[in-house]
A and B are shown apart, each in its own frame.
Chain A
Amino acid sequence: MWKWKRKRVQEEKQDELNAKAEETLETLFKTLKKSDDFKSYQAGVSGYIVSYVGTLSEPKLLNHSVLPVLKQHTVYTLDDLKNLLPVEDLQITDDPSLVRQKMMTGHIAIQLKENDPGVLLIPAVTVEGRKVSIPEVEFSVVGPKEAFVESIDKNMNLMRKRLTLPQFTMKEVTVGKITKTRVGVVYIDGIADPDNVNTVLQRLQDIEYDQIIDSSFITQMIADNSTSPFPQLLDTERPDRAVEVIVEGKIAIIVDGSPHVLTCPTTVVEFFSSSDDYFLPWPLASVFRLIRLFAVFFSVLSTSLYVAILTYHHEMIPEELMSTIVSSRADIPFPPILEVIILELTIELLREAGARLPTKIGQTIGIVGGIVIGTAAVDAGLTSNVLLIIVALAALASFTTPVYQIGNTIRLIRFPFLLGAQMWGLIGVSMVMAFYIGHLIKLKSIGRPFFAPIYPLRFRDLRDAFIRLPFNKQSERPMQTRPVDAVRFNIKRTSEKRDVDE
């Protein structure tokens, strides 16, 4: 595999070299002229050539600041022109590849005459994008209501305004052979472990792919084990959450064109913590977190336990429950496993349909599907009432996960459990669980253990794992990130003991 990677790197370098050797301004303009939205014309008293991509550059700037100057003055060098133009960040270059890069991001190029090697580049970038809106995937009742958008600059802005610190650093990498997507690695210098930063940068640079459309591409490409169903980088659309973990010493990866920011290194418990947990008083937050965790286990295990117990271990059903279960099962023609699979697939269908349809129709489909199909299936004697309740609860429970990605994982991993249950009852379920535990221990998130703080056991990090202790008990940043500066605040100063009535 390494061999293969190396080979790819070599090939790519050769491609680049070829391009450089061949590319001149002439060929560049020739290529561009094939597209109809490319504008190039002579303007002004001296007949300069003004060229730009019409759909990328802002006409306002051209009309108000550039053209008037060109028409009023006669200049002989680009330097003179540069001094005259009331626009910031002008650049003169004769490097064709730079010209190409800049023009493709909305710069206006001015040449003294056609095929002149010197080019003045005027930034006139206009990027159409969405306004900052409220988070939809990770909605919270209290707390900030801003969500990331598809622009890397706006996203940086959203974070920077929350973190006014000079050490807040962003390293930019361009990824994707064709899309040339800007990817930013964001961290706080002096808190984040340089090793982690290097790992991330290294992995980003090693990516070999033609297009990066969304941050989820990056997640899959730089994951330590890309065949695992568990996501090894956490994605969030909340700037507050991103900033929160950056302060903990984690690293965020912003991808241009994606409203989701990736954070790493992450742990499995982090996927079950929501930003609400920090907005509520800690006892409530802890209880809700535990409920969520229980919900996850319920969602994964309930149907397989149903299969195991009904198929093999009916001795476990108490007498009082027996009549309920047996009479609802009595006229079902299928064995429990088939019954479960039918119902699980139905729920999965509803989910998929609901996710693909517009919100309003999606809701209707959910209700219609849930109620009508469910009742009809029970009436028709295809599934039992008890199972319908269990499956519906399991589906509901799987929606309690605050991070969408892990919800998908939960949807998937219950099927091996069903298989185990059908084969060897509870022992089968246990064995599948053992497999997943082993798998989780094996997993790593950018080289840091994914199953922490459970294993390796880190008592410090357990304070914000299954439960969330109050802020004054969290005087140190999590060990998971190996922060350079681990101390959040001086615990001694805050924990002075006071006697009664003092």
Chain B
Amino acid sequence: MKRKGYWLLVVVLLAGCQTIYSVEDRAIVQILGYDYVDEKQLKGTVGIPHYGEGSTRTVEELNLTITAESIKDFSEKVERESSKPLSMGKLAVTLYDERIAQDGIEEFLDVLSRDPRVGRNIYMGIVDGNVQELIEEKYEQNETTAKYVKGVIENNSQRNFPEANLHSFLYAYYADGIDGFLPYIAKKNGHIEISGVALFDGGKFVSVVSEEDALTLKFLKEEVNQGAANIKTAQESLGNVGIEVTDSTVNYKIDNSKEMPQFDINIKVTGFINEMKQRDVDSVQTPELVAEIEEKYKEQFKERAEALVQQFQEANTDPLGLGNLLKNRYRNFDKEKWEEQYPDVPVNINVEVHITGTGISL
């Protein structure tokens, strides 16, 4: 028994040799952004929350900005300026400026996907403007920039923007025949807004989908449970009609019988009207009106979607994953051939719109 006790003591002492940093002794990086300086150098900015002591519970964000030659070099240099060891474990958002994204973010992706401490649900974003300014700015909406940016992306990816995080980007980045996309973020008047979707070809930023078309991309990409669409009607009296989307499904069909594969995308949208300029509509008229709006919406949606696909093909980016779909459904997928074909592949979009309600006051 006595001997066992000694062993235990020895073990504890030996294990105690390694220095341990408990949570409050670490600098927990929550947001990380990179700016382009010149061809050799980049400028990184980190945001570390500093929690107030005792009962005050305020959070301030500390920022460190360092110019370095590589990512590795950067993390070393940051460590040198920090009083506590840096921890990437709670990283929530990483941002890149446009120039870096255009040159390719492969290297950054590699670092993020290799580190076991970094989560897979972290958000990435391409910033229209200066990343350092965006991170260092003090915002009124939230205590820290990290929380704010995270909140903005999270909230919007539930509504009008397609979902994109590190995992989904990696998924597309590695797979054949899919390209990733990320939110396109800008700082405006002391606020942060998502101003569109940044499209990638591999790891390179190539094009932007505007904010209005983001919902269309979301419809094409995934099932939408929440979203707000806006329709311009020709009738002056109706003006713009707002539709709250409650449900949508998307279905891809491929016809591979010919030389060139042909894609059919069928989308069904269900929603209700929640905004209309005209007030005094007869209840008799309502069904007709609804049918008219449905028709109008269908038309506009189709137009937009087709334009969007056109944009993808011109930029040679495939965020819809058509190539991957082809590969998974038919044998003998030839990657090179597909890449050649892609800009000219015919894509038909069929839309069905179903309006279930007109709100409670009409």
A469 vs B87: C-alpha distance when bound (angstroms): 51
The CA of A327 and the CA of B53, in the complex, are separated in Å by 5
Residues of B within 8 A of A310 (CB): 22-23
Is A319 in contact with B90, judged by CB distance below 8 angstroms?
Answer: yes
Residues of B within 8 A of A329 (CB): 22-24
Binds B, one of A91-99, A249-257, A330-338: A330-338
- Interchain CB contact under 8 A, A314 and B89: yes
**Residues of B84-118 whose CB lies within 8 A of A:** 87, 89-90, 92, 117
* A423 on interface, CB distance cutoff 8 Å: yes
Q: Cα distance A393–B24 when bound, in Å? A: 23
Q: In the complex, what residues of B have CB within 8 A of residue A315's CB?
A: 87, 89-90, 117, 119
A67 touches B (CB below 8 Å): no
Q: Give the residues in chain B near A335, CB-CB below 8 Å.
A: 20, 22
B198 at the interface (CB under 8 A from A): no
Closest B residue to A339 by beta carbon equals B22
Report yes or no: A311 in contact with B89, Cβ–Cβ below 8 A: no
Of chain A, the residue at the smallest CB distance from B92 is A319
The one of B30, B51, B56, B92 in contact with A326, judged by C-beta atoms closer than 8 angstroms, is B51
Q: State which of B15, B23, B54, B119 has its C-beta within 8 Å of the C-beta of A314.
A: B23
State how many angstroms separate the Cβ of A419 from the closest Cβ of chain B. 7
Minimum Cβ distance to chain A for residue B207 (Å): 33
Return B154 CB to nearest CB of chain A, in Å. 11
Q: Tell me, in angstroms, the Cα distance from A312 to B89 when the chains sit together.
A: 11
Residues of chain A contacted by B32 (CB below 8 angstroms): none
A322 to B56, CA, bound (A): 15
Residues of B within 8 A of A419 (CB): 12
Looking at the complex, which one of A314, A317, A323, A423 makes contact with B51 (CB distance below 8 Å)? A323
Q: Is the CB of B53 within 8 A of A423?
A: no
Per-position contact with A for B15-49: 1 when CB-CB < 8 Å, else 0? Answer: 10000101110101010000000000000000001
* Chain B positions 41-81 with a Cβ under 8 Å from a chain A Cβ: 49, 51-54, 56-57, 59
Taking CB as reference atom, which chain A residue is nearest B8?
A: A419
Cβ of B147 within 8 Å of any chain A Cβ, yes or no, is yes
With A314-B87, A314-B89, A423-B15 in contact, do A330 and B28 touch (Cβ < 8 Å)? no
The smallest C-beta distance from A183 to any residue of chain B, in angstroms, reads 30
Q: Is B20 a contact of A312 with CB atoms below 8 Å?
A: yes
Q: How far is the CB of A428 from chain B (nearest CB, A)?
A: 9
Task: Please give the distance in Å from A335's CB to the nearest CB on chain B.
Answer: 5
- Nearest chain B residue, comparing its CB with the CB of A381: B54
Q: Which residues of A are found within 8 Å of B89, using beta-carbon distances?
A: 314-315
Given A327-B52, A423-B12, decide whether A319 and B23 contact each other with a Cβ distance below 8 A.
no
Which of A311, A314, A419, A422 gathers the greatest number of chain B CB atoms within 10 Å? A314
Chain B min CB distance to A55 (Å): 44
CA distance A327 to B52 in the complex (A): 6
Q: Which A residues are CB-close (under 8 A) to B15?
A: 422-424
Structural contact, B49 and A330, CB atoms closer than 8 A = no
- Rounded to whole angstroms, the CA-CA distance of A248 and B18 in the bound complex is 55
Q: Is the CB of B51 within 8 A of A330?
A: yes
| A-chain residues with CB within 8 Å of residue B52 when the two chains form the complex | 327, 330
List the B side residues contacting A201 at CB < 8 Å: none
Chain B, residue nearest A312 (CB): B20
Q: B12: which A residues are within 8 A, CB to CB?
A: 419, 423
A323 adjacent to B53 (CB under 8 Å):
no
A75 CB contacts on chain B under 8 angstroms: none
Any B CB within 8 A of the CB of A325: yes
Interface range on chain A (Cβ under 8 Å from partner): 20 to 34
Considering the complex, which residues of chain A in the window 182-241 have a beta carbon less than 8 Å from any beta carbon of chain B?
A: none
B241 to chain A minimum Cβ distance, whole angstroms, is 38
Beta-carbon nearest neighbor of A425 in chain B: B20
Q: Which of B20, B23, B56, B92 contacts A317 (CB 8 A)?
A: B23
Complex alpha-carbon distance, A323 and B147, angstroms: 12
Contact among A311, A319, A330, A331 for B20, CB-based, below 8 A: A311
Write out the residue numbers on chain A whose beta carbons fall within 8 Å of the beta carbon of B87.
314-315
Taking CB atoms and an 8 Å cut-off, the chain B residues in 140-172 that contact chain A are 147
A177 CB to nearest B CB, Å: 27
Cβ contacts under 8 Å, A424 to chain B = 15
Distance to closest chain B CB from A422 (angstroms): 8
Establish whether residues A319 and B54, one from each chain, have CB atoms under 8 Å apart when the complex forms: no
Q: Report A283-341 residues with CB < 8 Å from chain B CB.
A: 310-312, 314-315, 317, 319, 322-327, 329-332, 335-336
CB neighbours of B51 from chain A (8 A)? 322-323, 326-327, 330
Chain A neighbourhood of B23, CB < 8 A? 310-311, 314, 317, 322, 325-326, 329
Cβ of A319: which chain B residues have Cβ within 8 Å of it? 30, 90, 92, 147
Distance between Cα atoms of A230 and B53 in the complex (Å): 43
Proximity string of chain B (247-276) to chain A, C-beta cutoff 8 Å, 1 when within and 0 when not: 000000000000000000000000000000
CB distance from B79 to the nearest CB of A (A): 17
Is A314 within 8 A of B26, CB to CB?
yes
**B24 proximity list for chain A (CB < 8 A):** 326, 329-330, 332
A330→B51 CA distance, assembly (Å):
8
Contacts of A311 in B (CB 8 A): 20, 22-23
Contact A323–B90 (Cβ < 8 Å): no
Shortest distance from the beta carbon of A379 to any chain B beta carbon, whole Å = 9
When the two chains form the complex, which single residue of A323, A332, A336 contacts B59, counting CB atoms closer than 8 Å? A323
Least CB distance, A484 to chain B, in whole angstroms: 41
- CB <8 Å contact, B54 and A327: yes
Chain A nearest Cβ from B23, distance in angstroms: 4
Closest Cβ neighbor of A332 among chain B residues: B24
CA distance A327 to B117 in the complex (A): 23
**Which residue of A312, A314, A327, A336 is within 8 Å of B28 (Cβ)?**
A314
A467-B87 Cα distance, complex, nearest whole Å: 45
* Least Cβ–Cβ distance between B133 and chain A, in angstroms: 24
Query: Known contacts A331-B54, A419-B12: does B117 contact A323 (CB below 8 Å)?
Result: no
Once A314-B89, A315-B90 are accepted as A-B contacts, the answer to whether A323 and B20 lie under 8 Å apart by CB is no
Point out the residues of chain A lying under 8 angstroms from B59, CB to CB: 323
The complex places the Cα of A326 from the Cα of B21 at a distance, in Å, of 13
**How long is the Cα–Cα vector from A329 to B117 in the complex, in angstroms?**
22
Q: Judging by beta carbons under 8 Å apart, are A327 and B57 in contact? A: yes
Report the bound CA distance from A466 to B24 in whole Å: 39
A317: B residues at CB distance < 8 A: 23, 90
CA distance A327 to B54 in the complex (A): 6
Measured between beta carbons, the chain B residues less than 8 angstroms from A314 are: 22-23, 26, 28, 87, 89-90
Instruction: Give the docked Cα–Cα distance between A325 and B57 (Å).
Output: 10
A423 to B49, CA, bound (A): 28
Contact B57 A322 (CB under 8 A): no
When distances are taken between beta carbons in the complex, the residues of chain A under 8 Å from B147 are 319
Contact of B53 with A330 in the complex, beta carbons under 8 Å: yes
In contact, A323 and B26 (Cβ under 8 angstroms): no
0/1 string, A437-463, CB within 8 A of B gives 1: 000000000000000000000000000
Whether A322 lies near B28 (C-beta < 8 A) is yes
Nearest chain B CB to A418 CB, angstrom units: 11
Query: Closest Cβ of chain B: how far from A413's Cβ, in Å?
Result: 15
CB distance from B141 to the nearest CB of A (A): 16
The residues in A between 411 and 445 inclusive whose CB is less than 8 angstroms from any CB of B are: 419, 422-424
B46–chain A nearest beta-carbon distance, Å? 16
Q: How far is the CA of A419 from the CA of B9 in the complex (A)?
A: 11
The closest CB in chain B to the CB of A227 belongs to B1
Residue of A327, A330, A332 contacting most chain B CB atoms (<10 Å):
A327
Q: Which residues of A contact B (CB under 8 A)?
A: 310-312, 314-315, 317, 319, 322-327, 329-332, 335-336, 419, 422-424
Starting from the known contacts A314-B28, A319-B92, A327-B54, 4 additional A-B residue pairs (CB-CB under 8 Å) come to A317-B23, A317-B90, A325-B23, A330-B53
Chain A to chain B: the 3 pairs with minimum beta-carbon distance, closest first: A315-B89, A314-B23, A327-B51
**What are 8 contact pairs spanning A and B, CB under 8 A?**
A311-B23, A314-B26, A314-B90, A317-B90, A325-B23, A327-B52, A327-B54, A419-B12
